[in-house]
Structure 1
Amino acid sequence: MKFDKLFLDHISSAQHDFSGWDFAYITGTGRMGSQLLSWSYGSMAIPLVRKAKSMLDMGTGGGEFLSMLGPLPECVFATEGYLPNVPIARHRLEPLGVKVVQIEDDFDLPFDDDQFDLILNQHESYSPTEVRRIISDDGIFLTQQSGGLDCREINEALGVPLNEEFHHWNLETAAEELISNGFEVLTSKEEFPIQRFYDVGSIIYYLKAIPWQVPGFELDPYLAPIYEIHRIIEKKGFFDVSQHRFIIKSRPI
């Protein structure tokens, strides 16, 4: 199959390093955009941070989000399971007094019982049993999650089934798990906002950054369907997919 120069140029543009959890290369240039949610995770987190004496940010990435929540409590920890992000997070967060801990197992966190009165979790896996162990009896657990149907249209276009490990993951399942582990759900919402891609280079870059969407993604086996997406973008100007987001604010009971 012969590909046009614009398509090849967009593919070339995807060969750009991704670090931490920063999509500015495609969002800051307007190549990918997302419809707004009816809630703001940050706006919900900030007043909780102000009241907290000890807090944990689970899955901090490169520490981008946590670094903007200051002033922070005196005792702050952050975990990260993706090894390349750990030195990035430490470089950004340790000057702010945050202790960054590399973890490998959601079910065995290196923290004491009842250690934190606030636990934040943005798009990170967790064990509700372990969260309940390390949170204080009057603590708050705030999590925003990507659901199992996230960006399913990409998988459909590439002919790849959704990841079975996450397919069940939604608000109902997460809330039930928390309730069964001794939490009361205070606030919860679930929505499917549109995420729009304006060129296939941004899609390729995105898939490389989130390997769970299409496990083992490599460009060559998917050149033909990606070119079909390119043709859709040439005709419509964009390629839309549905995000899957939900948020839960809960406390122990």
Structure 2
Amino acid sequence: MKIAADTEDFARRLGYSFTRPELLARALTHSSISTKARPDNQRLEFLGDRVLGLVMAEALMKADRAASEGQLAPRFNALVRKETCAEIAREIGLGDVLRLGRSEMMSGGRRKEALLGDAMEAVIAAVYLDAGFDVARDLILRLWGARVNAAETVSRDAKTALQEWAQARGLARPEYVELRREGPDHAPQFTVEVRLSSGESATATTAPKRAAEQAAARTLLNRLEAKHG
């Protein structure tokens, strides 16, 4: 099966060449545009979530052999939650190649936390089915990178952790700005930007607004931890 040029570019950014590219095509197909001949990524999302969970559980136990289950659980949740998957998806430009229906596209689907997170899990499943667990594990650990070792920090409330990070460096409290509100009144999506007085910033789009603030804070905190330690 031949895939589109933008999908080939995405596979290169992902760092994996598919033997069965139809798996990647399915992983990128949202239910809003699926047909019988073009199934959506929901089943792959289900599988990818489990593959990701096993990889992260294993990685966390190796990273801290003395940690109790009570210590590992929040770190695990921080690494596998939808916001983190969406953050990884943004870093590799997954939203640019999502196959969406017109209405979903018009409502900002390429930026939505849920859609990006689901698609990231589906891509993981596609790699797993194409090449097996070891290759999928290597891919996940490469994409998640320093987040595994920083999981103890980001497992805390992200807004509180970011504020503590800023105060420890003599910076003002983080500022949260609502950039956009989209979608119907009964299910709005908020795009929020968090800004530090030092100039760093990050954005996130999700619902409700509080979740968007947390997601933006978490994105910026992960970036700062990776950069500054």
- The structure carrying a bigger helix percent of its residues is 2
- Same-fold call, TM cutoff 0.5: no
Measured against the shorter chain, the TM-score band is: under 0.3
- The structure carrying a bigger strand percent of its residues is 1
Normalising by structure 2, we get a TM-score of 0.23
Structure with higher RCO (Cα < 8 A, 6+ apart): 1
Pick the structure with greater CA Rg: 1
